[in-house]
Chain A
């Protein structure tokens, strides 16, 4: 029997189908009509049960007759399945970043999420990439090319952008600016990690884990290696699919 997990994120929608193993795994852009995107993604798919997570969960689940689970739980379940030895998850998504500590049984023991603003999220990087005239995929490599270290003091997306603009006006090298931005995010994430009290091994998931510079900086600051899943964006959808199979949903 097939079970489906859908993660309706702010930037991308992820689908994983599962029976005894992962059958299919997809990532598409969310766009302006996530409901239609989800329908397209699920058309011609046959499944026993659907669990929905992500920002669009309350929009999509009632229409598609799915159950609801929070991303925190979905990421915890997905990570533990992929890496039975993992005790912590760092997830940096489009709209938020979270750090999750797991119990022996794989339940969520503690978690931290960024506050109301976009600081320290994929969105922050995307806006800054735009200012530096690279795309989201390129900003990590640009940062790795830096020949010197400078500092960005502001983590507020709005203020950081003006800080970046003034650094550009001062003639600073784009690579160094990009590095400083990564540095700022990594510092922020590490603060959250300290609050939760992270335990090895640590999975780094979410779209931002594709960024090699961020990965490197986090590893340096934490002093440990991070496990990056092969498909880091679909860990939440996988968790949702696993919950669909187990029949244990959210609240």
Chain B
């Protein structure tokens, strides 16, 4: 099995030595952060297995798909409409960009004062240490920030990148622009796969992805319960894995996990004591294996009950609402859904402030931790408005700015513990 993986990585042109170092590092980290948790749901077993073989079995599936003439499309952002890729018989994979390991590599090309997510993703390609990038036929980028936009130009020198233009406002003109981008993306995917996107296959893809969104909604709804039946770390992992797992299998696994959590809720079983402070995390995405903040918060005796982020509610809270009509109508439905994502790349972005307040109430949060990747200017600047709004609503807020490295763990613990003392119910 292990040898089979090595052979596969070799065929994918990976740099095996640093990759081995990365894989060897992940095991102990996962053990410490995840497996050491007590009273975990059994349904997490699947996710432990997936992480245990993170660059193995799923990559193998993608390779099988490719051997049969299928295409793999890699993405970095929740704005890329995955339905279109599925409809054309392709497989979309959200690439991981959450490891410090590849950051120093990237810094040999990118400015140091670039956010860790951009550096990490770029470093993975530069160092040839991510089998998902290696196994993909096209990378799809977007214009959600300036750092990414310019990084994609350089990335394109290593592997084919297609960039979708995400507008910055939500006016009618912007919506038209975005619809045009979605249609153009369909053309690109048709050309890549050699398959036509039709009203019918797109409709099927919409239903399939919506099912996964509903499953994640179900999981998050269970987190509203007091005491919460699943840890924030585990829920975050489920969301992270959803970015690259097969959508149908993923939906089944999430629903199976939720069945188990339903029983816990019925029995009043919580993962943490009922009086543990409940935290809503809001802000920048946490790509796998970025579990840093959740780990610090939960090690300090609190529990994360929701993520208002792209690796959280922004990923699944809206469904595509398909109409009865043909391809044009389905494409419009897809475009509309994606324009409802409340990303800080939009101006104004008042809806996100409403979301944070609403989620804090729905999830019975005792406080909000605003998580900001260092050098992510849109979220950092928007944080000032988040602060003002939450102050008005009387919801306690802690602002954290950090990256993937561990240097500041001491300071973060200090702040988070002080915040928890402050808000303890």
Contacts and interface: CB of A to CB of B under 8 A. Distances in A.
B421 interface: yes
Contact of A55 (B408, B410, B420): B410
A70 B417 contact: yes
Contacts of A108: 418, 421-422
Contacts of B227: none
Given A115-B401, A251-B277, A251-B300, A96 B411 contact: yes
Contacts of A55: 410, 414
Contacts of B413: 58
A113 B407 contact: no
Nearest to B396: A110
Contacts of B302: 251
B402 A96 contact: no
Contacts of A109: 422
- Interface bracket on A: 20 to 34
A95 B407 CA distance: 12
A111 B420 CA distance: 12
B415 interface: yes
Given A115-B401, A251-B300, A251-B301, A73 B421 contact: yes
B263 interface: no
Interface in A83-129: 95-96, 107-109, 111, 113-116
B410 A72 contact: no
B191 interface: no
Contacts of B358: none
Contact of B408 (A58, A68, A116, A250): A116
Main secondary structure of the interface of A (DSSP, over half): loop
B408 A69 contact: no
Interface in B267-309: 277, 300-302
A7 interface: no
Interface residues of B, number: 20
A100 to B, nearest CB: 9
B361 interface: no
Contacts of A250: 417, 420-421
B408 A70 contact: no
A72 B411 contact: no
A71 interface: yes
A58 B421 CA distance: 16
A72 B424 CA distance: 15
Contacts of A116: 374, 401-402, 407-408, 411
Interface in B376-425: 401-402, 407-408, 410-411, 413-415, 417-418, 420-422, 424
A132 B407 CA distance: 27
A72 B418 contact: yes
Contacts of A113: 411, 414-415
Given A116-B407, A251-B277, A72 B414 contact: yes
Contacts of B417: 68, 70, 250-251
A115 B400 CA distance: 8
11 contacts: A70-B421, A71-B414, A73-B418, A95-B411, A107-B422, A108-B422, A111-B418, A113-B414, A115-B408, A116-B408, A251-B300
Given A70-B418, A108-B422, 19 more contacts: A55-B414, A68-B417, A70-B417, A71-B414, A71-B418, A72-B415, A72-B421, A73-B422, A95-B411, A96-B411, A109-B422, A113-B415, A114-B411, A116-B402, A116-B411, A250-B417, A251-B302, A251-B420, A251-B424
The 3 A-B pairs at the shortest CB distance, nearest first, are namely: A72-B418, A116-B408, A70-B418
